[in-house]
A and B are shown apart, each in its own frame.
Chain A
Amino acid sequence: MDFSFVVVQALSGLASASSLFVIASGLTLVFGVTRIVNFAHGSFYMLGAYIAVTVVPWLLEIDRSPWLFFVGVLVSAVAVGILGVVMEVLLLRRIYKVPELFQLLATFGVVLMVQDAVLKIWGPVDITGPRAPGLRHGVEILGQRFPAYELFLIFVGPAVLGLLWLLMHRTRFGILIRAATRDREMVGALGVNQALLFTGTLFLGAFLAGLGGALQIPRVSASAQMDLSIITEVFVVTVIGGMGSVTGAFLAAVLIGQLQAFGVLVFPKITLVLVFLLMAAVLVVKPWGLLGKPEAAAGRAALPEGILNPARFAAVEKGLLALSVTALLALPFFGSAYTMKVATEVLVFALAAFSLNFLVGNGGIVSFGHAAYFGLGAYAAGLLVVKAGVPMEPALVAAPVVAGLFAALFGFFVVRLSGIYLAMLTLAFAQIAYAVCFQWVEFTGGDNGVVGVWPSAWAASRHVYFYVVAVLVVAAILALRHVVYAPFGATLRAARDSEQRADAIGVDVRVHRWLGFTLAGAAAGLAGGLYAFSKGSIDPTMLGIPMSVDFLAMILLGGIQTVMGAVVGAAAFHAIKDVFMPLTDFWRFFLGASIIALVLIFPRGLGGAYAALRRQPGVVRA
């Protein structure tokens, strides 16, 4: 490796870092002020690129000057900023009062809608934007050619950092942003118009995302997949830097840019997972990222988001439950073959969602990577059947055991953190597990996965397998539900309500959370094993981010503050998907719109709405 190459490769890394930073700074600002994990940030980036490939060529028709190019880029970024304001005013403003996780779900709905809207407006073919006039050429650096535009990009990052610093330290708006990032309640106390501050922050955040996207058009083509490809990376940058810290985001972006630039030389196949390994390592050593600050302990005690005093089944509900279980078991007698297939799937997802809500709703442990344990259970079962020739029955025992073991391993590190950092570490571990399943082709079959994971002969028919699933899932859910009411479940709730108090009465909070994480992982693993046999195959999408997000959507739709909401949420989510998918290519748009509508109409989920109904006298006797 000669010196000039090292220099040029480092410059490439800096150029990537610069772009990454511009986008990540917006996300971290929005999080700092609103505490919303804005999934739609990647969509803003994509919109920035799409608007730029539309606007910039039009401007360049007038005059091929570099200035017009950058005018076009800024216009695009401002347009995206305005879209951010639209999202804030139409959607987020209505849901600031609902738990933060629901806001996350709503932004995920926006992601789905924007994806299809982009396809509709700009069509499915990637659009390549023009290069920047005056910066098309390569520059000789130590005998190596380097794109002039990337040299320019290298300066954009620090420039944006500097401008943001000025904004944050020299303007009232910026000072308010910093104050809100440090202490939200203080801003309320200062008598600041919070709505205006949030709107302004969303504008700035979306503007930066749009700017990042628009600046990319001379390098990459605008495509409908660019939102999801950027969002995880941007999350990683903000988390490594410390959520809310712009300077931290800059450092993290530089770190990741260099890691990728030199990582491709050493590990050309695993650059993606390198990033997540870095994040996991940083979080294990520095639980709040490089420059993040610990969340200030809430000065005022607030009711936790999650299961409150868990309601018992009233007589009516017991009847209802018995009726639905009976109906479920009778399904094969009146349902069609397809109904049974769907019912099998809903049951599997219900268990996975229930186990996730055991963590989120009951334990206050928000996992963004629960699909990891679902998928690891599926892989354990599938690989045993296909590679080791083990029959279905022991494989279904192995699924929760293996998933539980991995949950214990990952959970050991996870429970050391809290809040958003905990969530991101679960995501990092899920991505590492995903990458291993994806990359270890000889053992796991790579992205193709492994086929031939079918049930034993006696359970091969749709009917019998349905019963296998129904019995195991109902038993597992009832068992987990029992744990919620048992001292262990109550202890997890207690630790969620007040870690300090739990500690002071002699509870080892970490150990209990770790055990809870393991138990939930094992339950998800059982669901995964059952899923594998219902599909006949395993593949990495089972532990991918979209699967984790689906589980989150299910429990949020169902309502995280009720015990049984997750089951309802799984059914509702699946039903929505199943209705729209056959109907139209734009089913994601409708899925997203349905999610947003549900969040707006039932801000506490379907289960929460039912619980509210239940409290009204005369509806259900509790």
Chain B
Amino acid sequence: MTLLSAEGLNKSFGGVVAARDVSFALTAGEMLAIIGPNGAGKSTTFNMVGGQLRPDSGRVTLAGQDITGMPPREVCRLGVGRTFQVAQTFLSMTVVGNVQMALIAHAGRTRDVVADAERLFRAEALALLDRVGMADAADRPIGELAYGDVKRVELAIALAAAPRLLLMDEPTAGMAPRERASLMRLTAGIAREEGIGVLFTEHDMDAVFAHADRILVLVRGEIIAAGAPEEVRANEQVQRVYLGTTGVKAALRARRAHG
């Protein structure tokens, strides 16, 4: 069954087209990667799905419900979890506090002025942290964690909303290679186990080809190829503009090294 579908999304910024007629669909439990060179419109497409940007035209539906132009908080309430390219967490809080906050929000108790926030949903939060392997760090301030660990916590935060769909914008950006692989494995495992659909953008081709069920290739705002990893890898156009040129690859490596 189709979980997420995007139909004919268009977006331009002051004459510059960032997305042109972008359409795709995603089923539950599927991992769909969007790849493309810098400025190809990956983040724009992503943000149109997540509610951060409103498309100029086109439609986004989640399990049949139209969510086009809905603000992120409402998209979240419909069961969409999200991680960011630069991890966004509540820096003043502990690791478990971050997840508890997400659980409080999910439970709709953010206006509660009576309960003690520190005690609310602690067990559930610890369980989520356990799933991402961060239970040991539960009571440390999140600001003290290594970046890779922060990304794991962010995943736990995203999972707190019991999502049907995860939107992950460059989930492994800024991480060491080994951490990357393990985060992607973790994500893929959870997604398959719980039937959560995952839409992610990624620069790391190893991660993409290892875990994505399907891949969309965006260039200058347009989808030039879509399909299973092997198909995409074999696509000539893709090879020409993106994968094939070793120069591009080297540039990508260099970029990753800088994070």
**A interface residues, Cβ below 8 angstroms from B:** 299-304, 306-309, 482-483, 485-491, 493-494, 496-498, 500-509, 512, 515
Contact = CB atoms under 8 A, between A and B. Distances in A.
Nearest to A479: B113
A498 B94 contact: no
B219 to A, nearest CB: 26
Interface in B160-180: 160-161
Interface of B: 50, 71-74, 76-77, 81-82, 84, 86-94, 97, 101-102, 104-106, 109-118, 120, 141, 143, 157-158, 160-161
Given A490-B104, A493-B93, 8 more contacts: A309-B92, A487-B110, A487-B117, A490-B93, A500-B88, A501-B88, A503-B72, A506-B105
B106 A309 contact: no
A509 B111 CA distance: 11
Contacts of A483: 113
Contacts of A496: 92
A307 B158 CA distance: 25
A491 B112 CA distance: 10
A490 B76 CA distance: 19
A80 to B, nearest CB: 40
Contacts of B120: 487
Q: What 7 A-B pairs come out closest when comparing CB atoms?
A: A501-B88, A506-B76, A490-B117, A497-B90, A491-B110, A487-B112, A308-B92
A584 B15 CA distance: 66
A509 B76 CA distance: 13
B130 to A, nearest CB: 19
A302 B143 CA distance: 9
B111 A488 contact: yes
Contacts of B86: 299-301
A505 B141 contact: no
B93 A494 contact: yes
Contact of B106 (A300, A494, A501, A505): A505
Residue in A486, A506, A509 with the greatest tally of chain B CB atoms within 10 Å: A506
A515 B111 CA distance: 9
B120 to A, nearest CB: 6
A505 B76 contact: yes
SS class of chain B's interface: helix, strand, loop or mixed? Answer: loop
Contacts of B92: 303-304, 306-309, 493, 496-497
B71 A503 contact: yes
Nearest to B97: A309
A300 B117 CA distance: 28
B113 A301 contact: no
A485 B117 contact: yes
A189 to B, nearest CB: 12
B148 to A, nearest CB: 15
B161 A486 contact: no
A307 B89 CA distance: 16
A497 B91 contact: yes
Given A485-B117, A505-B157, A505-B161, A491 B89 contact: no
Nearest to A561: B92
Contacts of A300: 86
Contacts of A308: 92, 141
Contacts of B84: 500-501, 504
Contact of B115 (A299, A486, A501): A486
A429 B117 CA distance: 33
A306 B118 CA distance: 18
A190 B86 CA distance: 22
B46 to A, nearest CB: 12
A289 B3 CA distance: 42
Contacts of A500: 84, 88
Contacts of A304: 91-92
B167 to A, nearest CB: 9
A501 B160 contact: no
Contacts of A498: 88-91
Given A487-B104, A487-B112, A507 B73 contact: yes
A302 B104 CA distance: 24
A512 B110 CA distance: 8
B72 A497 contact: no
Contacts of B87: 301
23 contacts: A301-B86, A303-B92, A304-B92, A306-B92, A308-B141, A309-B141, A483-B113, A487-B110, A487-B111, A488-B111, A489-B117, A490-B101, A491-B110, A494-B90, A494-B93, A494-B101, A498-B90, A501-B88, A505-B73, A505-B76, A506-B105, A512-B110, A515-B111
Contact of B113 (A488, A503, A508): A488
Contacts of B88: 301, 498, 500-501, 504
Residue in B82, B92, B94, B160 with the greatest tally of chain A CB atoms within 10 Å: B92
A341 B91 CA distance: 42
A504 B76 contact: yes
Contacts of A302: 91
Contacts of B118: 485
A485 B76 CA distance: 25
Contact of A309 (B71, B72, B93, B116): B93
A493 B90 contact: yes
Nearest to A512: B110
Nearest to B83: A504
B93 A497 contact: yes
A488 B143 contact: no
A505 B111 contact: no
Contacts of A494: 90, 93, 101
A585 to B, nearest CB: 44
Contacts of B160: 505
Contacts of B71: 503
A142 B39 CA distance: 59
Nearest to A497: B90
Nearest to A307: B92
